[in-house]
Chains A and B, each alone.
Chain A
C-alpha cells in the first residue's frame, strides 16, 4: 500500500461527478448496442468452434511432427478464445441482452474445470463487488500469496514464487479449488456441509468430463497418434493456463494498483465504488490481436467499471475513461504485457520476503475516502 492516497485530492462532490460521467459513458454504449455487436459474438463463437474442430482433426495425425505443432497451436488458441473472449464475457452477462438462450450467462458452460455456476459466484459476485478489498476479495493473492506490504509476513510466503508458478501451470484447477474455497472448507466439520459436498461433486463431475475428453477420448480416437495427441492436449491446456494466469495477474497485481481496507468500503457511494475500480485495476497495452486474445481483459479498468458491457466495446470506452483519469488527475496503470507481467512477478518475489513497516504511517484510508 502506498504511503499516500492517490485520490486524496478529490472532493466528495468530484467523486460523485466522476460517477455520473461514468454512468453516462455506460448509458451511451447500452443505447447503441445492436446487430453489429450480436454479429460479432456469433462470429467469434463460430470461429472458435471451427478452429477447435480443425485443430482436433489435425491432431488425429499428430504422430507427424508438423501436424502436432499446427494442431497444438490451434487448440491452444481455441481454448484461450473459449475461456477469455467468449466464456468469461458471456458468464458476465455481457450478451444476455440478445435474449438468445444459447449465448446466455445462465446456460453457458466453458472449457474449464470450474463449473460456470460456481465461477460466476466467486468471480462476478465476490471479486467484482469487492475488488481489491483485503479479506473480501480473495482474488488478491488467491489466499496463497502475500500481495501487500501491510499484510503480516509468514515463512510460508517464502515459497510464494513457487506457488504462483504452479498455480499458473494448473490455473484452471487453482480456480476450481478457489471457487470451492477449498482451503477454508477442508476442516472436518465444513467438509461434511451438504452444500459444499454438492459443489465439490459438481467440480468432480466437470473434471472427470474434461479429463476424459482431453486425455482419453481424443487420444484414443487418434489411434497410433495416442501419445502425441495426449501430449498435445496437455500442452494446449498448459499454454492456455499460463496465458490466462498472466493476463489475470496483470489485472490487479502490477505496481501502482491500490488495495483497500475492509473498513473503507462501508457505506460506499456509487462514485466511490467506481473510483475503487479505477484505482484497483490495471490495463495491458497492445494491438487488436492482443486485446482479442486477452478477452479484452487488457481493458481491465474498463471491464471493472462496466463488467456487463459487451467486450468488443471496451476499446472505444477506454478512450473516454482515460480522458476522465486525466481530468481527475488519477494514474491510469497500463503497459505492454511483458512489462506488466514482470511487474506483477516482481511484486510476488518482493513480498515473499519480510519488509519493514512503512516509515510514514499509513493514513487511515477509511477516513480519507469518506472525508475526501
Chain B
C-alpha cells in the first residue's frame, strides 16, 4: 500500500472517530494555521503609516502559496461578530525572510473593515485568507524604464513591486491630499536618496487634481515607459484615455479597487442565475414569491422568517429585510432568507 493510500485510510478511520464532526474541527482548536487547514492567518502586528492608514503584519497558514508583487489577497475579518470579506494589496516583498506578509489599509469613511483593521484590530486575531491573486504584476522580462502612477491607497500594490524588484530607471508620480497623507513617505524618500527612484508628489489639496496632460512636463518620456497605474476611477479613466490617444495603450497596466458599486433602491431586476431567469421585482414582495411566480424552484418553509428553510446565496446586488428594513449586500458566502427579503435594487439569487 502506498503511503498516500495509507494516509487516506488513517484519515477515514479518524473521521469515524470524530463523526459527525471532522478531525479538522478538533485540530483547529490547537493548530489553526497548520498545513491542510482552511487557509487562515494571524495578525501579528499593526503599524500605523499615516493618520488613517496602517500596515497589518500577517502570519499566513502553512497552505499559503506565496504571491507575486502587485497582487492582492481577499481576507475575511470578523467585525462586530460578522465575517466580512475585503481585498487588499500585498505590500510585503515576496522574499520576506520571516514568511510574514503585509497588507496596508487606508480607513475609508464608513468602511467597516478598513476602520476596524486600522483602528481596532489586535495582534493575535485570526483572520480568513484566500490565496493571493490578480494580474496587476510585473512581467517576467524587466522593462528598461517604468512609470508608477498612483493616488491615495493606490500606492499599496506598487509598494509591493518597489520592495520586490529594483529597476534601472523607475519614476513615480503619486497623488495625495497633503504630504502627511502619503503612505510610505519616508521609505519612498529613502529610495530617492539612494537614487533607486525618481518621485513626484502631487499634493492635491494645494496643487489640485492631477491633470493627466501634465505628464508631458513631469515625465517627458512617459510614453516610452511600461506604466502601472492604481488609484481612483477618475484618474484611471483619464490615464486609459490618454494612453490610448497616444497609441500606447498596451504599455499601461491598471488596477481598480472597487469594480462594482452596489446600487440600492426599492425593487429592481432580479436574476435567478442558476435557472437563467430574470424578472422585475418591486420592493415589497418577498423574493420567494417572485421566484415561485417566475417558475423557479425555490426552497421554502414557514414563509415568515423563522425556519431558515429558504436560505439561498445572494450572488450580487442588495436585498432589504422586510421586517427590519436592514439592507444586505452581496458578498461571498452571504445567504438570505428569501421569504422575508425583497429586492433593494438589482440582485442575483443563485436559484
Return chain B residues, CB-CB under 8 Å to A100. Answer: 78, 83
In the bound complex, CA of A210 to CA of B21 (Å): 11
Which size class do A's interface residues fall under? 35 or more
Is B308 a contact partner of A221 (Cβ separation < 8 A)? no
Is A129 a contact partner of B307 (Cβ separation < 8 A)? yes
A36, A106, A109, A129: the one within 8 Å of B306 (CB) = A129
- CB nearest to A218 among chain B residues: B17
Return chain B residues, CB-CB under 8 Å to A98. Answer: 78, 81-83
Is A213 a contact partner of B301 (Cβ separation < 8 A)? no
- CB nearest to B301 among chain A residues: A125
A30, A36, A106: the one within 8 Å of B311 (CB) = A106
Which of the segments A46-54, A164-172, A179-187 contacts the partner chain? Answer: A46-54
- CB nearest to B16 among chain A residues: A217
Is A93 a contact partner of B311 (Cβ separation < 8 A)? yes
In the bound complex, CA of A27 to CA of B335 (Å): 20
Q: At the interface, is chain A mostly helix, strand, loop or mixed?
A: helix
Is A128 a contact partner of B307 (Cβ separation < 8 A)? yes
Residues of B in contact (CB 8 Å), total: 33
Verify if B2 is at the interface (C-beta below 8 Å from A). Answer: no
A99, A121, A308: the one within 8 Å of B305 (CB) = A308
Is A38 a contact partner of B78 (Cβ separation < 8 A)? yes
Is A35 a contact partner of B25 (Cβ separation < 8 A)? no
Q: With A106-B311, A120-B308, A221-B17 in contact, is A96–B335 under 8 Å at CB? A: yes
A216-230 interface code vs B (CB 8 A; 1 in, 0 out): 011001000000000
- CB nearest to B19 among chain A residues: A209
Return chain A residues, CB-CB under 8 Å to B309. Answer: 120-121, 124-125
Verify if B36 is at the interface (C-beta below 8 Å from A). Answer: no
Verify if A33 is at the interface (C-beta below 8 Å from B). Answer: yes
Is B307 a contact partner of A96 (Cβ separation < 8 A)? no
- Which residues of chain B from 266 to 314 have a CB within 8 Å of any chain A CB? 301-302, 304-309, 311
Is B29 a contact partner of A124 (Cβ separation < 8 A)? no
Chain B contact residues, CB within 8 Å of chain A: 13, 16-21, 25-26, 29, 78, 80-84, 301-302, 304-309, 311, 323-324, 326, 331, 333-335, 337
For the complex of A and B, list the 4 residue pairs with the smallest distance between their C-beta atoms, beginning with the closest. A38-B81, A93-B308, A124-B307, A109-B20
Chain A contact residues, CB within 8 Å of chain B: 23, 27, 30, 33-39, 46, 49-50, 53, 92-93, 96-102, 104-106, 109-111, 120-121, 124-125, 128-129, 206, 209-210, 212-213, 217-218, 221, 273, 307-308
- Mind listing 7 A-B residue pairs with CB under 8 Å? A35-B80, A37-B81, A98-B83, A106-B335, A109-B21, A124-B306, A308-B305
